[in-house]
Homo-oligomer: A and B are copies of this chain.
Amino acid sequence: MPEVWRAWDSIVAGRTIVDKEGLRRAVQAGKAAAVGCGGLRYTQFIHDFENIPRGTAVFEEGVIYGYPSIGRLLALEKGLARQFAAPFWMEEKIDGFNVRLCRVQGKTIALTRGGYVCPFTTDRIADLIDTAVFEREPDLVLCAEVAGPENPYSESFPPFIAGDVRLFVFDMLRRNSPRFLGGQEKQELIRRFGLPAVDIFGRFEPKDLPTIRAILKRLDAEGREGAVFKEDSPRQRRTKYVTVSANLSDIRSSIYTLMDLAPDYFTHRVLRTALTADELGTEHPAELKQRLGAAFLDGLMGAIRQQNGEGRISHRFRCRFRNPDNAGELIHYLKRAAGHVQVVQRSLRQDGDFWVLEFERIYPSLNGVLNDWLTGRTVFD
């Protein structure tokens, strides 16, 4: 069993909670640190530490546990049988970014997967969800995906979202507990407060494979990301399965960072594409090959045109805010997290009730390589 699953099983069994002594050791080991973020002071777990997941945030009101990694299945029949000892819920996996919404110091905030206050989502919370839920359930933590064409983090988004962003609740925690609420309780709260949530396809067993596969084939045909399976049992085991479309979308939206990503980023996605296409058998092989080739080449041919034209390979992002100060916070946050990529603000202008931020991500590594090659350097390999 991989390390992370052991950690996970141990967390959901409630055997580990953050106490003062543990916190002190985590800070000493450099795994957690005091931060000031979004006007709040708290302790953030920068790395996993003794079964406490990265992204865990410790406020005076209590601990908001991090959202743990979910393992990926690449073969449905054997995988579902092997992973699950009880019936499981099948829910849609949305191509967006993971946040945890909670009420802290009288304010509703969105924490990123890493445990930062997300300046974008926090600014837009009231547009995305009726925050009245937190009046009635102040210790509730909503785990949700934010997705759409105007998200500040990723070029990819679900095709059924035409503009701006939307939020989809998919799990719930309570303060000071690493255990998720059970499927029934979660669905009851979603209904009671009219929360926007991911599609829940049903409660299945491994013998329901034909139904499960048919749902995934439909999601794939619609260009949607995939599904998460959640065991309806005390151990709450989770696993995910993503479509061919999602693998191709990953390649397409990451091609400008070709030179910066982990070595196996693209090769794993190509291999997954082959396995998923074999599993779902969704289309004519010639069409699949063309889509894979396009996922690689559309962006790269565009990069060559950009390099020959403007001399700079970049992608433009656009997103909306209620408070223009939060746009500045976002740019600050993105610059810090950008790694090899440069983030440059282009404009911030008022448009009705919103402030529209436009910024560019510039990709110096691909830029540099293409510049060398296009100006006639020789390459030794």
A14 at interface, CB cutoff 8 A:
no
A47 at interface, CB cutoff 8 A:
no
In the complex, what's the smallest C-beta–C-beta distance from A90 to chain B, in angstroms?
16
A304 at interface, CB cutoff 8 A:
yes
User: For window 82-135 of chain A, which residues contact chain B by CB distance below 8 Å?
Assistant: 82-83
Contacting pair A74 B374 (CB below 8 A): yes
Beta-carbon contacts of A2-33 to B below 8 Å, as 1s and 0s? Answer: 10110000000000000000000000000000
Binds B, one of A140-148, A162-170, A273-281, A352-360: A273-281
Residues on B with C-beta less than 8 A from A373 are 74-75, 275
User: For window 345-381 of chain A, which residues contact chain B by CB distance below 8 Å?
Assistant: 369-370, 373-381
In whole angstroms, what is the CA distance A288 to B78 when docked?
36
Contacting pair A301 B277 (CB below 8 A): yes
Beta-carbon contacts of A181-202 to B below 8 Å, as 1s and 0s? Answer: 0000000000000000000000
A214 at interface, CB cutoff 8 A:
no
A161 at interface, CB cutoff 8 A:
no
A344 at interface, CB cutoff 8 A:
no
SS of A interface (majority): helix
Residues on B with C-beta less than 8 A from A375 are 75, 78, 82
How many monomers of this protein are in the complex? 2
Residues on B with C-beta less than 8 A from A291 are 289, 293
Which single member of B4, B271, B370 contacts A369 (CB below 8 Å)?
B271
Contacting pair B378 A79 (CB below 8 A): yes
Given contacts A288-B297, A289-B293, whether A81 and B270 have CB atoms under 8 Å apart is: no
Contacting pair A294 B289 (CB below 8 A): yes
Beta-carbon contacts of A47-89 to B below 8 Å, as 1s and 0s? Answer: 0000000000000000000000101111101111111000000
User: For window 240-280 of chain A, which residues contact chain B by CB distance below 8 Å?
Assistant: 258-259, 263-264, 266-268, 270-271, 273-275, 277-278
Contacting pair A379 B72 (CB below 8 A): yes
Residues on B with C-beta less than 8 A from A268 are 381
Residues on B with C-beta less than 8 A from A293 are 288-294
In whole angstroms, what is the CA distance A301 to B208 when docked?
26
Contacting pair B288 A300 (CB below 8 A): no
In whole angstroms, what is the CA distance A78 to B267 when docked?
32
